[in-house]
Amino acid sequence: MATLNQMHRQGRPVPPPRQPGATLGRPQLKAVVLKNLIRKPKKPNSANRRCVRVRLSSGREAVAFVPGEGHNLQEHHVVLVQGGRTQDLPGVKLTVVRGKHDCAHVQPKK
């Protein structure tokens, strides 16, 4: 904790600028699937989660979660991703939008 004299001499510290997330401040981004992944969730949960490694249109690579049961994604498919992390998957901060580009809608249960 700085004293009043130190604050008077040096001023308040300037916080570092915040880094933009994977979508660079945009609501959605187009991406190309590089690889299908199966990730294990954090402690109390146990069901394996379907994810894909994608190359975003900004040039970055990231891991995106595929919501719903079953998907048709393969390598080189084009998908739309949006921000929104998956709580029980560390490092997964994007979600694939179902029903856009090459990602099919979730199939209804029979």
Q: Low-confidence residues of the chain, pLDDT below 70? A: none
Q: Where are the domains of the chain?
A: 23-110
- Overall pTM surpassing 0.85 (yes/no): no
Q: Where do the DSSP E strands lie in 49-104?
A: 49-56, 61-65, 78-83, 94-96
d(C-alpha 18, C-alpha 34), whole Å? 28
Topology (CATH level 3) of domain 23-110 = OB fold (Dihydrolipoamide Acetyltransferase, E2P) (2.40.50)
